[in-house]
Amino acid sequence: MKFFVDTADIAEIKDLAATGLLDGVTTNPSLIKKAGRDFKEVIAEICAVTDGPVSAEVVAMDFDGMVAQGEDLAKIAKNVTIKVPLTIEGLKACRHFRNKGIMVNVTLCFSPAQALLAAKAGASFISPFVGRLDDVGSDGLTLIHDIVTIYNNYDFETEVLVASVRNPIHIVESAKMGAHVATAPASVLKALVNHPLTDRGLETFLKDWAATGQKL
């Protein structure tokens, strides 16, 4: 499974990139607002930090507007992935960009039917939002299972990018189902390393080492 970090914070991205485990970055208007910086400037800086896909979202709701904004964003760097909403206009824009060899992330997916349409439109990535479904009493992970099953049935090349990830369980369960990518806040990605038995083992080893009186 590939790991993308869901942030526009350059410091967080650099920190994760240093681990060698970061495969890409996703952003959205809310994250750009939180960063408080110029959108294109942030995307350019992120693209310089990672060679992986960097999702930059259009905000137009019509096809012509999405195309104009997306083509402008695509000029920033080769690894820019244009993020479009899962609407009819968004699917049209997806097809347009894919025909030009530009990566597309179709976002705000909440049903298997929507995911099927995105794959038919040639999306590079489909972003089902597991956490937001959990928030309204649905099972977000069931959606991941259904999309992976459908895509495998037809050998679609679209990668399942699990989004709105709230905890390590979302990532692990999605990986077991065969999802290709998980995008999550830096705090959730870092939480994957945590286990109380690891901490307890380290505590014991360090205590016993100290008792030997030796130095390295």
pLDDT, tens digit, 9 for 90 and up, residues 141-200: 999 999 999 999 999 999 999 999 999 999 999 999 999 999 999 999 999 999 999 999
Catalytic residues: 83
Predicted local confidence at residue 159, as pLDDT: 98
In the block, tokens 């096809």 appear at 63
Predicted local confidence at residue 212, as pLDDT: 96
Could you give the CA distance from residue 179 to residue 183 in angstroms, rounded to a whole number? 11
**Which regions of the chain are under pLDDT 50?**
none
DSSP string, the chain: -EEEEE---HHHHHHHHTTT---EEE--HHHHHHHTS-HHHHHHHHHHH-SS-EEEE----SHHHHHHHHHHHHTS-TTEEEEEESSHHHHHHHHHHHHTT--EEEEEE-SHHHHHHHHHTT-SEEEEBHHHHHHTTS-HHHHHHHHHHHHHHHT---EEEEBS--SHHHHHHHHHHT-SEEEE-HHHHHHTT--HHHHHHHHHHHHHHHHHT---
Predicted local confidence at residue 74, as pLDDT: 98
What phi, psi does 137 have (nearest 5°)?
Answer: 90, 5
Predicted local confidence at residue 171, as pLDDT: 98
**pTM for the structure as a whole:** 0.94
Neighbouring-strand partners of residue 55:
26, 81
- The domains of the chain, with CATH numbers, are 2-212 (3.20.20.70)
Predicted local confidence at residue 57, as pLDDT: 97
